[in-house]
Amino acid sequence: MSGEGFDRETALSLLADENRVRIIEELGDATVSPDTGIPSVPYAELKSRVGIRDSGRFNYHLTKLLGNYVAKGEAGYRLRWPGMVLYRALVAGLLTGETDHDIGPVPVGVDCYRCGEPVEGDLYETLFRVRCSACDANYADIYVPTRGLVGKAPEAMLETVHRRSRTVLDAMTSGQCPWCADEVALEVRAGDGSLPSLHDTRDLDAYAVYRCTNCTGFHYLPVSQVLLYHPAAIAFYHAHGRDLTAVPKWELEWAVTDRTTEMLSTDPWRFRVRVPLDGAALVAELDHHLEVVESRTEPAEGAPHSRG
């Protein structure tokens, strides 16, 4: 199947041989600098790097990868984009036993907004959860490659989780799946307590479901949380000398609860969200697409404290 795309069964079966995986790894490792792009590796050099002495055996496995994973040119061989995605999954530990690490619990520095007990973070099968073990209130759950967490101090680990969460949810709330790049559909639902506690919505009058139309990736959010990624909220924080993008969402009560969210109507959905900061508040009205249709600033009398 040289030079052609693979069907799904073939694409997966090709990875059953460790020699082919080694070829993928060596071609990926050859990209040592962003200045070089994705370089081509000459045949003899690649064969030496992989460590297969028998030319016939090496050619057999290399030829099997030509197509989706590996491209052949005048200068040698290089990874195509699917091959680079596979390489990155390998070095991130997503396809190996490295996903078996359990990390935590580690304190995140805030108390539960529901019961007042300390909130903790822990990793289970690459899913990092920020939640209260006392009442099961959930404030974040995000898949993080284990390689990005193992060996880090708690502060650095939580920073990694925060940045990963922003990257994923910024993409989803803008309508693009962070995993497959297809379209994301939004649905606003009334909070009726019917979801698993892992995706805690028991205290929400309404919540947002962002779901990829292709790969089934999804996230549940309080409707107020979309403002974390909106220019109006980012500019509001900037005007107060704060960087909203640097603040983990679990430190922002307005973003992880609906205590500063007012439901204005249900058909169509419409909400008013107050974002308090330093004695002022950004007041934003959201339509049924959770787009900001109106915003203003005003005094934040009696608003919950923001750690931002």
Instruction: List domains and CATH numbers for the chain.
Output: 8-91 (1.10.10), 225-299 (no CATH)
Backbone angles phi, psi at 243, to 5 degrees: -105, 100
Token code pair at residue 304: 């919950």
How far apart are the C-alpha atoms of 135 and 262, rounded to whole Å?
24
Q: How confident is the model at residue 148, as a pLDDT?
A: 84
pLDDT band at 1 (very low <50, low <70, confident <90, very high): very low
Q: How confident is the model at residue 144, as a pLDDT?
A: 87
Average pLDDT of the residues in 131-149: 88
Q: How confident is the model at residue 149, as a pLDDT?
A: 86
Rounded percentage of the chain residues whose pLDDT exceeds 70: 85
Q: How confident is the model at residue 203, as a pLDDT?
A: 77
Token code pair at residue 257: 């609860």
pLDDT at 92 over 60: yes
pTM above 0.75, yes or no: yes
Task: Pick the more confident residue, 240 or 126.
Answer: 240
Three-class DSSP category at 197: helix
How far apart are the C-alpha atoms of 41 and 231, rounded to whole Å?
44
Task: Pick the more confident residue, 132 or 150.
Answer: 132
pLDDT at 2 over 50: no
How far apart are the C-alpha atoms of 94 and 262, rounded to whole Å?
41
Three-class DSSP category at 12: helix
- With 0-12 / 13-18 / 19 or more C-beta atoms within 10 angstroms meaning exposed / middle / buried, residue 103 is middle
